[in-house]
Structure 1
Amino acid sequence: MARRTYWTWHSHVTSFLPYRVRVVGRELTYPSAAIYFDGFLPSSKAQVRLDRILKVSTQLKIFRSGFPNGCPARQIAATRLMLPRLFPTDPPKRDLPLIPPPPFLVSAVVDKLNQIDKYASLILLVPGEADAYCADDVMRNGGTILTSDSDLAIHDLNEGAVMFFRDLHISSSDSKKSLIGRKYSPSDVAKRLQLPKEQGMRRFAYELSKMTRPKFAQVLENCKGEVSDTEDYRVFCEPYEALETTDWSSVPVLGSLKSPCLDARLSEVVLQCVGYSGVAKPSMGDSSVEGCMMCLPPLLDCPARASAWDSSASVRQLAYSLTCLLRPGTVSHAVALQLILAHSLEEDKQDVCIAAIKLAQSVAEDSTLIPWDVVHLSAQVQAMLYSLRILAQVLNLMSEIKAPGPIQGSRQLRELLSTLPPLTTYPTVDGTTGLVTSLKATGALAKMAIALGIPEDNLLPSREGKSRKKKRKSRNESEAQARPEKKASSNPFDVLGLE
């Protein structure tokens, strides 16, 4: 089996150079197999991420309070005339500046790697955390992981090994430059430390995490005894035992792309929007745009003012609203609902249809009874989608057999109908209520009403409609009161301009 090298990237990133790698004096000839980047973080990491953002924001406020008259020029990268050394051997500084880290560092590295033929084909934006995919790959195929994440030394890598960026430094010998660093094999380390065979490095890491001031000898001694809290140990080991990885081909929307060229944050928002949970197949009714979270990186701005991100909020709002269209079936389902509503208007049966749409917004998730009008509306949506499917298949057939007398606009119609969802994703009753609620939340229901010439309030539940009417009436009255009265003109000819 050919040995390979993997690269995984997290918060600490460095640049690539055409150096050979040597491990304690021995040159590595392993080819690079893949460079993994996080493309989706599970919801369990949301609080950790928010805590980090809050910490950076608080540090920036403290930094600004120390320099109220201006930001020190030495803290701004653009003023530095010398580039920092790659792979320095100096120990890291303890007193780090309180300014935020470079906000677009990882994205910049991805862009640069994509411009280099040698690395472009190796980049893998994975629908999860990069460490799990890297560990899973090495466990199955062997190789060495080059990373900044020490957790990878806890994973079961079989005969695989780990190298850390902090251990690398440049060495010149025989007029050739090489990167020298230490290589760690978790299985070999576990054997040398005589750790329990079935627990290995996971047990060592667990005992290390339980001590506030750990001493190596004491941690090692604790590993030889029984686990004090088996349930706590089981929870600790879960992320390292069950590698949650998903093949891109099974990921909705992005799975159809050979190499998704997206920033990691955008990839995450798109996957949230289409209902991707991280591992399992998406559930059409379990996710909505309303529940998506986008964590923008903290910028080096003035904390005494509004966030620098605010001035470009409208651009991002447009981008986020377009992601609603990426969810499989969303547009088709909405079109089906609009066609049903339009048909009811033509047949003068809009009252029943509008009432069903109102009811669909009021059905509780734990309701034991669903109104028959809502059940019927769901069936109408399914019937409309299947009818559109029939139309699409007929148009495709006419195109394939090159039927004489092509219908004007048939090609454009075929392209539109090609986005119809498969039968397996047709909305159930729950899906229909979720669809109506989602359309309301995104403002699509209001646009649908405008397109059909229906007052928007008519499609809202009775209480919301009345409340909105009262607010509109109150606003109109307040505007009328605030409007200044025109003073009587002293020019007698002004009366000629009155109607």
Structure 2
Amino acid sequence: MGIPRLRQLLEPYAEQVDLKGRDIVIDGPALVYHILYQCLGHATSLFNLPSYSLLGQTAIRWLNELSKAGANIVAIYFDGYLPSAKEPERKRRLFDLSKGLRSYFSLYPSGVPKGSSAAKEQVPMSFSSPSTVGGPSKKLPTPAFLVPAVLEALCASETYAPVIKLVPGEADIFCARHVSLSGGMIITSDSDLLVHDLGHKGSVTFFSSVEFKTHEGSEIATAAEYASLRICERLSCPRDKGLSSLAFQVSIDPQVTLQRAIPLAKEQANSDANASEYASFMAQYLSPEIMERVSLEPISGRLLDPRISELVLSLSFLKKSDSTGGAGNGTKQDDPDVAMYLPFLADSPARTSGWESSTSLRQLAYAVGRLLTTRPISSVVEYRRLQSLPGGARVEIPPVSEIDQQCLRLIDNMVKIRACLAEPELRWVVLAIHEDIVWSQTQGKGSILSLDMLQAEANGTLDIGTWDFVHLHAQVQGIYYSLRMLQQICDVTSRDRQLPDSVCTLRRDIGHISLLHDFPSISEFAVLFKKARANVDLPAFVATLGLGDDIAARVRSIMDPPQKKGKRKRSKRNDELNRAGTPVRQSSNPFDLLRGG
């Protein structure tokens, strides 16, 4: 984002300053992507993507470096809602991500490179500017849950949790408001912040200009400061509209020189030339779309994920509109469109979206979320991988009358899945197999991906670099995040109204779903998957969940290849325990298998 070349044109007017003693306001999403860059290095493989644990640790270490240098971090803002005006841009970005994934797929059609997946991850020892180091492959997809993983890590920090702000609008709007009222310096990667009214004591710097040094045993942090009022004085532009008028001229003609843009900006600031176009340009900064008076306070010490927050706020807005006789956007009265921009999964472009197999879990989440409004919402439009614009897949919401049945079925399935586990760390493998089988049967698929992968493992031919295995891991991520959505939507809905008993039970049972730093990377998932055939009672799994005779026969064929004696004895012991009606692992909570550990 940002205005092309605006920062470049103003760079000669930035002042190098020491950050010691300065109040710092941080653009949260920009921080996250800066941290990703520090962790990626020259990565070209999905197997080299940093884990969520590493991303969180690195973010905290970067902030620690800033604090040790004497900077005072007063607020870190994260988007909790993006305005409707951003929809075309968001869809275009998603389309570009999808195009990039297809390009990556065409670059490695026979399978992704393994890279150095065995190498131990380490927090970077020093932090570099993007201008001084090489970067990762531009086609390499980013970790799907990048922003919520870093946000979760910061919220778990005693030092930084108090300054984290999830806001009902765009983070940059609230960053600008903060320094306009209280002064301070914003650290961002978005040149749009130069257009905002930053007040008399507000300024901007960019992550790429922040440098950490040690001088005579002391930590020092310096950065290039862009103080809009001082820049306007040096350019002899009006202090109130100088930079905004200059930015407007650059947005019209990105190739304009500063010498040419300055007189045009002065003319713009002192006349009505291009008044309507300028007003349209400034609307996003002067009258942003935000959801005032909506609580985004932490629930049980945890903030909502930004994309889940956006869904919740959209539903809350519909409730508010309904109570006043309005219609949300002022045009629709019945069954308004509600959008969910799902995180982008690195799945196989040769297959349907990795989100498909977990659709039923999100349908239940949407059904619970619909309790926040009395508006007649029958579906949610999900945006995931896009083949064309505007795209979107409409997902039907089950009626309220079916919520009880679906909650009870989910709890029952989890009880049965837990009984088939020899080791709790295999929970995500088993969930992936279950959801994949059920979805494939529902869709009438002749081939079931998870069973094909298990068969390959049994035959000794499993290649974890194939796009089929990459896709299976994407489906696991979809299952995890769909359960996370269900958990968070249950939490926030319970704050607004009395939930049905079945939803309360489900909410209590999934309240301890694994944190993102415990979720397996593709390399870790590959290790777990190879253990699953010998350490999961697959015949009992198929029988107890009623997956059908065809599936049972397929599983028997997977179990046929010779196994090591020790593993076979363990499987027989599991059979005996299940025939006796005794679960392999004792627990009063059917969702203990979702806990980290």
TM-score range, shorter chain: 0.5 to 0.7
Q: Distance in 1 between matches of 2:326 and 2:300?
A: 27
**Is residue 70 of structure 1 aligned with residue 111 of structure 2?**
yes
Matching of residue 265 in structure 1 with residue 307 in structure 2: yes
**Distance (Å, rounded) in 2 between the aligned partners of 1:3 and 1:170:** 15
Q: Which amino acid aligns with 2:210?
A: L
1:96 to partner: Cα distance: 3.8
Cα-to-partner distance string for 1:163-221 (whole Å, 9 max, x where unaligned): 21111122111223333212221111111111123312101111111214232222223
Residues 330 and 121 (structure 1), Cα distance of their counterparts in 2 relative to 1, 3 Å cut:
farther
Q: Following superposition of structure 1 onto structure 2, how do residues 233-312 of structure 1 map, counting pairs within 5 Å?
A: 233-242=278-287, 247=292, 250-251=293-294, 254=296, 261-275=303-317, 283=324, 285-287=326-328, 291-312=337-358
Indicate yes or no: 2:268 matched with 1:222: no
C-alpha separation in 1, matches of 2:297 and 2:152: 21
Name the residue aligned to 1:134. 175
Give matches, 1:289-368, under 5 Å.
Answer: 291-327=337-373
CA contact (8 A) 2:212 2:221 kept: yes
Partner of 1:442: none
2:29 aligned with 1:10: yes
* 1:87 is the counterpart of 2:127: yes
1:274 and 1:282 in contact (8 A); partners too? no
Instruction: Write the mapping of 1:23-102 to structure 2, written as runs, cut at 5 A.
Output: 29-74=70-115, 87-89=127-129, 91=131, 93=134, 96-102=137-143
Tell me the CA shift for residue 78 of structure 1.
7.5
Counting matched residue pairs gives 327
Write the deviation string for residues 380-399 of structure 1: whole angstroms up to 9, x where unpaired. Answer: xxxxxxxxxxxxxxxxxxxx
1:122 corresponding residue in structure 2 = 163
Give the match for residue 358 of structure 1: none
SS of the equivalent of 1:179 reads strand
The partner residue of 2:218 within 143, 165, 176 is 176
Asked if structure 2 preserves the Cα contact closer than 8 Å seen for 1:103 and 1:298, the reply is: yes
Preserved contact between residue 21 and residue 179 of structure 1 (Cα < 8 Å): yes
Q: Is the 8 A contact 1:60 1:98 kept in 2?
A: yes
d(CA) in 1 for partners of 2:291 and 2:314?
15
Aligned to 1:113: 154
Note if 1:188 corresponds to 2:230: yes
In 1: Cα distance, 2:322 partner to 2:257 partner: 44
Which letter does structure 2 place at the counterpart of 1:70? G
Question: 1:302 is aligned with what amino acid?
Answer: S
- Please list every run of 5 or more consecutive structure 2 residues that lacks an aligned counterpart in the other structure: 1-20, 36-58, 329-333, 378-399, 402-493, 499-597
Question: Following superposition of structure 1 onto structure 2, how do residues 398-437 of structure 1 map, counting pairs within 5 Å?
Answer: 419=497
* Aligned partner of residue 220 in structure 2, secondary structure: strand
1:213 maps onto 2:259 in alignment: no
Q: Secondary structure at the match of 1:208?
A: helix
1:260–1:114 CA distance, 2 compared to 1 (3 A):
closer
Name the counterpart of 1:472: none
Deviations 1:44-90 (A, max 9, x none): 1111111111111011112211221111233x877675655653135
Cα shift readout 1:2-55 (whole Å, capped 9, x = no counterpart): 963211122524213354549xxxx97452221110001111111111111111
Are the structure 2 counterparts of residues 223 and 419 from structure 1 closer, same or farther at C-alpha, using a change threshold of 3 Å? closer
Aligned equivalents of 2:136, 2:164: Cα separation in 1: 34
Contact 2:80 2:166 in 1 (8 A): yes
Q: Structure 1: how far apart are the matches of 2:322 and 2:237?
A: 38
Counterpart residue identity of residue 16, structure 1 = I
Could you tell me which amino acid in structure 2 is paired with residue 306 of structure 1? T
Per the alignment, in what secondary structure is the counterpart of residue 36 of structure 1? strand
Distance in 2 (alpha carbons) for counterparts of 1:218 and 1:135: 28
Checking the alignment, whether the CA contact within 8 Å between 1:21 and 1:180 is kept in structure 2 is no
- Give 3-state SS (helix, strand or coil) of 1:49's partner: helix
Residue 281 (structure 1) shift = 10
Q: Percent identity?
A: 31
SS of residue paired to 1:269: helix
Q: Does 1:202 align with 2:244?
A: yes
- Does the 8 A contact of 1:9 with 1:148 survive in 2? no
CA contact (8 A) 2:179 2:202 kept: yes
Deviation at 1:303, TM superposition (A): 0.7
Contact 2:198 2:228 in 1 (8 A): yes
* Separation in 2, partners of 1:34, 1:83: 24
Distance apart, 1:328 and its partner CA: 6.8
SS at match of 2:230: helix
* Superposition pairs of residues 339-488 of structure 1, within 5 angstroms: 419=497
> What TM-score does the superposition give when structure 1 sets the normalisation length?
0.58
Cα distance in structure 2, aligned partners of 1:47 and 1:277: 25
Residue deviations 1:288-330, cap 9 Å, x none?
Answer: 7751101112211111111111111111111111101123799
Distance in 1 (CA, whole Å) between partners of 2:238 and 2:180 is 20
Residues 140-172 of structure 1 deviation map (CA, whole Å, 9 limit, x = unaligned): 111111222211111111121112111112211
Of the structure 1 ranges 195-204 and 238-247, higher mean CA displacement relative to structure 2 is found in: 238-247
Q: Any stretches of 5+ residues in structure 1 without a counterpart? A: 332-336, 339-415, 421-499
Distance change (3 Å), C-alpha of 1:200 and 1:269: same
Q: Partner of 1:392 in structure 2?
A: none
Judging changes above 3 Å, is the alpha-carbon distance between structure 1 residues 244 and 293 closer, same or farther for their aligned structure 2 residues? Answer: closer
Write out per-residue CA displacement over residues 419-470 of structure 1, whole angstroms, 9 at most, x where no aligned residue.
Answer: 59xxxxxxxxxxxxxxxxxxxxxxxxxxxxxxxxxxxxxxxxxxxxxxxxxx
Q: Which has the larger radius of gyration?
A: 1
Higher relative contact order (CA 8 A, sep 6+): 2
Distance of 1:299 and 1:78 partners within structure 2: 22
> With structure 2 as the length reference, what TM-score do the two structures score?
0.49
Within the alignment, does 1:149 sit opposite 2:195 as a pair?
A: no
